[in-house]
């Protein structure tokens, strides 16, 4: 429905109510407010029109207990990492009390009625889609935030029943990772109330298994937060706890309390809370309406998961973009696969990476199976090119196991021209932190993923046979599969515990600042004198 037709529909609906239900008003004041509200609504936002249409044009906030209940319920959105103070619950209550005790004009009553409803719609919008516009903190963001329409009938009923937490729940993402992040936020806030954890002194010498060290008692307290009897010996039991901590912070699981592990142990609980809040906001941007099957690329965690239609989850390691060539966050659909791909070298990689190598080594192009082409696709003699000033050329690497894309590429439409692909550099998957690519995502075990996509979408194709043919072929899936590329610096692990990752792209601080920026509502609250 277009904005214009929505306004017309809302106006007709409320006008009909005015004509058909004149005897239902409790008082003359109610009738006047009802009619004034009907006159004002066509100029309001669509969600507000839908809310009042669901309640047949009835005002929602004329009773003090309803307003008080809503103001009190706003504190519960702290569990989503939002700030209740942004929505000015005290000011709403104060204005409502003033209207109850002083003579207010019809305009005062109408303004407060609409202001409280706008506050409710804003809260629901922030819970469902996020408070921060992702474009404002990530210039490369390209995916519109899409979420299902809110059930205004159920929200209206929840308001009348003063079950505001029920209304909020209708807006939150239902995805399990979001709910686990909320649970994690509650856990870490409880730790904060209990005083957080102790800080280990910064020392040069690592603590190794079997060591006797004066920091071990503090380490035990930091890890377990139980105050159990201390010992200076770094025992196997405590080593296991350190390994588990390292696993949950994307560190090498060697059991050695070195510089990086000590730094992660010393991150204050308040910073971990803010890290969870930031990632709840990111989840609100993208975690809506997942299909029965989808591919989830966890950029900061260097992991990929394929949620299959039979309920199985396939997981593997990935290599993502370097900080200066970031892998973007986006939603798309995997439409086809390229077997035995060629690789046309992007201009940035050509200028920054390849030209220095070609100038240094005249055999580089031959060894890498790379051809020189003009923009019409005609092959050129490399010896005829001035490599210090090569104009009007492009480089293309032929298919084969040494191709930069490997032997399989999973393609999905996006403005950044990124994709999932194989790689000849398999050794990089053994690293704990894997931001080494130029933006695309290298997938360990991509042949297996490709075959599962063929099978699950009913696409008759065999990956191994197609690779053996040696020909470059595009195989379109019979059914496209959703893919989500997202950047989480906190994410629930398979064991339910939160996993904290390094902010390799340095995005958390900017988003936190925007998230904590007070929200400004248009127009003042009624000012009574």
- Rounded mean pLDDT of 48-60? 92
More confident residue, 16 or 142: 142
pLDDT at 5: 53
- 281 occurs within a structural domain: no
Given a contact cutoff of 8 angstroms between Cβ atoms, the answer to whether 232 and 212 are in contact is: yes
pTM over 0.75: yes
- 134 occurs within a structural domain: yes
Residue 527, helix vs strand vs coil: coil
Given a contact cutoff of 8 angstroms between Cβ atoms, the answer to whether 208 and 256 are in contact is: yes
Q: At 2, is the pLDDT very low, low, confident or very high (cuts 50, 70, 90)? A: low
How many domains are there within the chain? 4
Clarify whether residues 442 and 423 are in a common domain.
yes
C-alpha pair distances (Å), 270 with each of 61, 192, 234, 519: 37, 7, 28, 22
| Eight-state DSSP code of residue 145 | P
- Rounded mean pLDDT of 163-184? 93
- 466 occurs within a structural domain: yes
- 33 occurs within a structural domain: yes
Clarify whether residues 330 and 358 are in a common domain.
no
Q: Give the least confident one: 19-23, 65-69, 133-137, 195-199.
A: 19-23
pLDDT at 524: 56
Clarify whether residues 163 and 35 are in a common domain.
yes
Clarify whether residues 231 and 373 are in a common domain.
no
Q: How far apart are CA 500 and CA 245, in angstroms?
A: 10
pLDDT at 264: 93
- Rounded mean pLDDT of 405-427? 94
3-state secondary structure 42-85: HHCCHHHHHHHHHCCCCCCCCCHHHHHHHHHHHHHHHHHCCCHH
Our measurement of the distance from residue 23's CA atom to the centroid of its chain's CA atoms, rounded to an integer in Å, reads 50
Clarify whether residues 331 and 252 are in a common domain.
no
Clarify whether residues 305 and 385 are in a common domain.
no
Q: What percent of the chain has pLDDT over 70?
A: 91
pLDDT at 528: 44
CB under 8 A, 24+ apart: contacts of 221-230: 221/197, 222/197, 222/198, 222/265, 223/265, 225/191, 225/194, 225/197
- 511 occurs within a structural domain: no
Domain containing 454 — which CATH number? Answer: 2.40.440.10
Clarify whether residues 337 and 348 are in a common domain.
no
Instruction: Tell me the β-bridge partners of 499.
Output: 491
Residue 281 has pLDDT above 80, yes or no: yes
- 228 occurs within a structural domain: yes
Given a contact cutoff of 8 angstroms between Cβ atoms, the answer to whether 527 and 98 are in contact is: no
pLDDT at 20: 39
Q: What percent of the chain has pLDDT over 90?
A: 55
Residue 523 has pLDDT above 60, yes or no: no
- Rounded mean pLDDT of 68-83? 96
SS3 content of the chain, % helix, strand, coil (to 5): 45, 15, 40
Given a contact cutoff of 8 angstroms between Cβ atoms, the answer to whether 413 and 335 are in contact is: yes
Query: Which residues form the domain of 216?
Result: 197-267
Clarify whether residues 48 and 136 are in a common domain.
yes
Clarify whether residues 454 and 311 are in a common domain.
yes
- 90 occurs within a structural domain: yes
Residue 409 has pLDDT above 50, yes or no: yes
76 exposure class (CB count in 10 Å sphere: 0-12, 13-18, 19+) = middle
Clarify whether residues 406 and 471 are in a common domain.
yes
Domain containing 258 — which CATH number? Answer: 1.10.101.10
pLDDT at 167: 96
Closest residue by Cα to residue 408 from 355, 375, 450: 450
Clarify whether residues 28 and 141 are in a common domain.
yes
| Eight-state DSSP code of residue 150 | P
pLDDT at 26: 53
Clarify whether residues 311 and 405 are in a common domain.
yes
pLDDT tens digits for range 363-408: 889 888 899 998 888 889 888 888 998 888 889 999 988 899 999 9
- 182 occurs within a structural domain: no
């Amino acid at each position: 429905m277009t904005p214009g037709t929505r306004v017309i529909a809302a106006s007709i609906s409320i006008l009909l109510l005015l004509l058909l239900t004149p005897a239902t008003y409790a008082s003359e004041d109610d009738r006047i407010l009802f009619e004034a509200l009907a006159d004002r609504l066509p100029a309001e936002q669509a969600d507000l029109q839908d809310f009042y249409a669901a309640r047949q044009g009835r005002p929602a906030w004329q009773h003090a207990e309803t307003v008080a209940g809503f103001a009190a319920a706003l504190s519960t959105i702290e569990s989503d990492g939002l700030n209740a103070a942004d929505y000015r619950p005290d000011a709403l209550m104060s204005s409502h009390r003033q209207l109850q005790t002083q003579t207010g004009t019809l305009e005062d009553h109408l303004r407060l009625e609409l202001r409280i409803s706008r506050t409710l719609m804003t809260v629901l919008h922030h819970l469902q889609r996020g408070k921060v516009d992702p474009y404002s903190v990530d210039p490369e963001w390209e995916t519109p935030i899409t979420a299902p329409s809110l059930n205004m009938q159920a929200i209206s009923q929840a308001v009348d029943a003063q079950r505001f937490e029920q209304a909020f729940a209708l807006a939150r993402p239902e995805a399990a990772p979001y709910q686990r992040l909320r649970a994690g936020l509650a856990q870490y806030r409880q730790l904060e109330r209990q005083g957080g954890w102790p800080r280990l002194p910064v020392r040069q010498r690592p603590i190794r298994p079997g060591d006797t060290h004066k920091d071990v008692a503090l380490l035990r307290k930091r890890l377990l937060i139980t105050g159990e009897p201390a010992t200076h010996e770094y025992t196997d039991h405590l080593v296991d706890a350190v390994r588990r901590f390292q696993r949950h912070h994307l560190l090498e699981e060697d059991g050695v309390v070195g510089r990086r592990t000590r730094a992660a142990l010393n991150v204050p609980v308040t910073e971990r809370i803010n890290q969870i809040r930031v990632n709840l906001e990111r989840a609100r941007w993208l975690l809506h309406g997942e299909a029965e099957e989808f591919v989830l690329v966890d950029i900061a965690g260097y992991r990929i998961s394929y949620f299959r239609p039979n309920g199985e989850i396939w997981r593997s390691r990935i290599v993502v973009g370097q900080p200066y060539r970031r892998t973007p966050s986006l939603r798309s659909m995997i439409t086809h696969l390229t077997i035995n791909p060629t690789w046309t070298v992007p201009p940035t990689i050509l200028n920054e990476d390849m030209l220095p190598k070609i100038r240094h080594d005249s055999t580089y192009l031959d060894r890498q199976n790379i051809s020189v082409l003009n923009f019409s696709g005609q092959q050129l003699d490399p010896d005829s090119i001035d490599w210090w000033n090569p104009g009007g050329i492009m480089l293309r690497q032929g298919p084969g196991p040494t191709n930069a894309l490997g032997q399989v590429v999973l393609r999905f439409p996006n403005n950044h021209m990124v994709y999932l692909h194989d790689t000849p550099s398999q050794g990089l998957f053994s690293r704990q932190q894997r931001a080494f690519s130029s933006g695309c995502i290298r997938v360990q075990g991509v042949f297996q993923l490709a075959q599962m996509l063929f099978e699950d979408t009913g696409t008759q194709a065999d990956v191994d046979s197609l690779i053996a043919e040696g020909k470059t072929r595009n195989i379109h899936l019979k059914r496209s599969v959703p893919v989500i590329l997202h950047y989480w610096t906190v994410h629930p692990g398979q064991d339910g515990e939160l996993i904290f990752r390094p902010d390799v792209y340095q995005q958390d601080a900017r988003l936190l600042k925007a998230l904590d920026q007070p929200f400004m509502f248009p127009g003042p609250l009624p000012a009574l004198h």
